[in-house]
């Protein structure tokens, strides 16, 4: 079980490693190629757009052929594309390689969530998702710091080469593992459309999935805007930026670990509602505190926001999955799609020429937290799986 959890955590770490490790290089690439911030940030935005499209592909494909084949293909593509990013000689080539990298990374996300549903029943799955969130939080915490170190000792190209090496290290374990899906559904490809139609008709799944994606707006906006805030705004070095970014990611890890503790005595409903209130409070701090005076005036309120996101994500994903009994691969695709598509919008908004990007992040945290709070309160009597983990253990 431990090896399986580690593999799932590594797979879900592919996207944050892809987006966060090269963040310290963004200002440098803009100067190197004579491109404005908005153009360089297309390497983030287009990555997320492509990622969202391929999320819709891998889910139904994995329901038909199993989890292992698309996972092998996706990780292989990720390795090749990462090497392409490392060899890019301009923005156009980097954009093309990033698109291919996103297409490969989407497989890891969908397969990890679908495999969690395949291998673990709900009570155990809630704990597994919490453990995965704790381990996975290390990726965005370490990625910018590692990227800053690589840039200090080598060059930005080695940042992408390191991503290829990390993915290559996972391939042998994927090749050796048994197929998690015991009974693939042998249907025509056109039935994937019907699977998505069934999921959209499941109003509990659809509404909850859309609402639970909104709290992530602030996180993705922070990813896009943090280099401009810390490096360009406060004049921090790439290495110091990595420490501040890691401080924020630490909050998500602590929040995810907090759920594994609080989930024993409190219902997912209480935990999620509390996290949404905390997000709004942290967002208000980013909007109203004089954060232009010190980077810590950005880091501390954002820590509160990120802690609440980490606390909310395991019960939210588990609760969404509990609303479906079939089409798990397609459901996993739609869960990731909702998060990443809203994230792409947030990153685009944060990349615009705002005078105060930290306040924009705070506003998104307030809106996302408040909207998710209202939606969950309205739906609370219709959802399955809202009892505490301790209650499930005795039922």
pLDDT at 384: 54
Q: HEC profile for the chain?
A: CHHHHHHHHHHHHHHHHHHHCCHHHHHHHHHHHCCCHHHHCHHHHHHHHHHHHHHHHHHHHHHHHCCHHHHHHHHHHHHHHHHHHHCCCCHHHHHHHHHHHHHHHHHHHHHHHHHHHHHCCHHHHHHHHHHHHHHHHHHHHHHHHHHHHHHHHCCCHHHHHHHHHHHHHHHHHHHHCCCCCCCCCCCCCCHHHHHHHHHHHCHHHHHHHHHHHHHHHHHHHHHHHHHHHHHHHCCCCHHHHHHHHHHHHHHHHHHHHHHHHHCCCCCHHHHHHHHHHHHHHHHHHHHHCCHHHCCHHHHHHHHHHHHHHHHHHHHHHHHHHCCCCCCHHHHHHHHHHHHHHHHHHHHHHHHCCCCCHHHHHHHHHHHHHHHHHHHHHHHCCCCCCCCCHHHHHHC
pLDDT at 254: 84
Kindly state the percentage of the chain with pLDDT values over 70. Answer: 83
Higher pLDDT, 63 or 45: 45
- For the cut 70, the answer to whether the pLDDT of residue 190 exceeds it is no
Query: What is the value of pTM for the model shown?
Result: 0.69
- For the cut 80, the answer to whether the pLDDT of residue 271 exceeds it is yes
pLDDT at 281: 94
pLDDT level of residue 127 (50, 70, 90 thresholds): low
pLDDT in tens, 318-361: 788 777 776 666 777 788 778 877 887 888 888 787 888 999 99
Q: Where are the domains of the chain?
A: 2-394
pLDDT at 364: 94
- For the cut 70, the answer to whether the pLDDT of residue 137 exceeds it is no
pLDDT in tens, 195-221: 778 888 888 888 888 888 888 899 889
pLDDT at 94: 92
- For the cut 50, the answer to whether the pLDDT of residue 390 exceeds it is no
pLDDT level of residue 134 (50, 70, 90 thresholds): low
- For the cut 90, the answer to whether the pLDDT of residue 304 exceeds it is yes
pLDDT at 194: 74
pLDDT level of residue 282 (50, 70, 90 thresholds): very high
Q: Which CATH class is domain 2-394?
A: mainly alpha
């Amino acid at each position: 079980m431990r090896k399986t959890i580690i593999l799932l955590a590594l797979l879900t770490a592919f996207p944050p490693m892809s987006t966060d490790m090269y963040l310290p290089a963004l200002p440098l690439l803009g100067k190197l190629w004579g491109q404005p911030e908005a153009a360089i940030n297309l390497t983030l935005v287009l990555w997320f757009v492509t990622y969202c499209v391929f999320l819709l592909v891998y889910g139904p494909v994995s329901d038909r052929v199993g989890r292992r084949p698309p996972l092998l293909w996706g990780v292989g593509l990720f390795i090749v594309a990462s090497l392409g990013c490392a060899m890019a000689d301009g923005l156009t080539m980097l954009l093309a390689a990033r698109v291919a990298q996103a297409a490969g990374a989407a497989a890891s996300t969908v397969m990890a969530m679908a495999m969690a549903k395949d291998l673990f029943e709900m009570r155990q799955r809630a704990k597994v998702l919490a453990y995965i969130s704790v381990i996975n939080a290390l990726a965005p915490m370490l990625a910018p710091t590692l990227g800053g170190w690589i840039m200090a000792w080598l060059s930005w190209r080695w940042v992408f080469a390191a991503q290829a090496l990390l993915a290559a290290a996972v391939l042998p374990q994927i090749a050796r593992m048994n197929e998690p899906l015991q009974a693939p559904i042998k249907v025509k490809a056109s039935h994937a459309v019907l699977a998505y139609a069934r999921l959209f008709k499941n109003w509990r799944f659809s509404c909850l999935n859309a609402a639970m994606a909104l709290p992530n707006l602030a996180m993705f906006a922070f990813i896009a805007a943090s280099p401009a805030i810390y490096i360009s705004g406060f004049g921090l070095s790439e290495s110091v930026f990595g420490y501040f970014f890691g401080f924020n990611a630490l909050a998500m890890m602590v929040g995810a670990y907090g759920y594994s503790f609080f989930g024993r005595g409190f219902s997912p409903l209480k935990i999620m509602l509390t996290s949404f209130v905390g997000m709004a409070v942290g967002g208000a701090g980013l909007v109203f505190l004089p954060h232009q005076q010190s980077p810590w005036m950005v880091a501390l309120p954002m820590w509160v926001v990120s802690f609440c996101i980490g606390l909310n994500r395991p019960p939210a994903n588990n609760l969404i999955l509990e609303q479906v009994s079939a089409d798990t691969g397609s459901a996993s695709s739609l869960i990731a799609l909702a998060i990443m598509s809203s994230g792409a919008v947030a990153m685009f908004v944060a990349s615009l020429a705002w005078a105060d990007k930290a306040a924009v992040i705070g506003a998104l945290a307030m809106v996302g937290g408040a909207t998710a709070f209202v939606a969950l309160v309205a739906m609370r009597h219709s959802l399955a799986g809202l009892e505490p983990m301790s209650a499930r253990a005795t039922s």
